[in-house]
């Protein structure tokens, strides 16, 4: 079985670049396995992954990302 790492050559390089990430959105009962793999690989860079309960929560997440200066 091919994985994200096999299919996406630059992915290994991206993991070494310092960045912070927020993934907002609904999680469905069925989603491609690659989403779980990406979440695992991106975990050290992820401030939030999932649904934001309100517009205020959504804005707060992005304010947190803007304030975060993690290299």
Instruction: Encode pLDDT of 4-52 as tens digits.
Output: 555 555 556 666 777 888 888 887 888 888 788 888 888 888 889 989 9
pLDDT band at 1 (very low <50, low <70, confident <90, very high): very low
Per-residue pLDDT at 9: 53
Per-residue pLDDT at 60: 92
What is the reported pTM?
Answer: 0.64
Q: What is the CA radius of gyration of the chain?
A: 14
What is the average per-residue pLDDT within 52-63? 90
CA distance 54 to 69: 25
Residue 56 has pLDDT above 90, yes or no: yes
What residues does 22 pair with on adjacent strands?
Answer: 48
């Amino acid at each position: 079985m091919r994985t994200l790492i096999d299919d996406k050559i630059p992915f290994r390089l991206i993991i070494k670049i310092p960045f912070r990430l927020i993934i907002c959105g609904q999680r469905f009962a069925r989603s491609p396995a690659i989403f779980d793999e990406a979440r695992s690989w991106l975990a050290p860079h992820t401030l939030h992954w999932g649904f934001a309960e309100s517009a205020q929560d959504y804005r707060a997440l992005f304010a947190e990302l803007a304030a975060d200066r993690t290299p």
